[in-house]
Amino acid sequence: MLTEDLDWVSEAEQGIYPFPWSRTNFADSLSAGYSSWVVQRDGEAVAYAVLMLVMDEAHLLNISVKAALQRRGLGSLLLDHLCIVALGFGATQMYLEVRSSNEAGLRLYDKWGFSRIGRRKDYYPAAQGREDAIVMRRAL
């Protein structure tokens, strides 16, 4: 992900999440040097991800596929790539948080061998009140 991707990434993000990251969140991720990626298919940007690599840990901060193109293997492709990047960096574990109501996310991570290791109560804003995060981890 480069600075010139920020417009489409933040626009796509608004169409994917009810509580999206802002353009500034993505810009800050680039400034912080987080490992940030976009997937292009036939020249069209279709998915993106942000990974924080610290010591021997990888933290998946964002993984998103454009709404119209979900459930076609792009999320899996991207997650596979991120695991390879993390391994190359020397990470031994990947961690992430996912909304407890996010069935697609939970199933994706289950399928990829992530284990549910904890719950952060009221972690996310929700349409009504707050929502818990499920913390997941996978050995790389």
97 catalytically annotated = yes
- Out of 74, 82, 83, 94, the residue judged to bind ligand COA by CB under 6 A: 74
* 39 close to 121: Cβ distance less than 8 angstroms: no
- Binding part of the chain for ligand COA, among 31-39, 84-92, 100-108, 116-124 by CB under 6 A, reads 100-108
- The mark string for 33-72 relative to ligand COA (x by CB under 6 A, - otherwise) is ------------------------------xxx----xxx
Assess whether 109 carries a catalytic annotation: yes
Round to whole Å and give the CA distance between 41 and 24.
25
Asked if 73 touches ligand COA (CB under 6 A), the answer is yes
CB of 37 to ligand COA, least distance (A): 13
Residues forming the site for ligand COA (CB under 6 A): 16, 63-65, 70-76, 98, 102-105, 107-108, 111
Residues annotated as catalytic are 97, 109
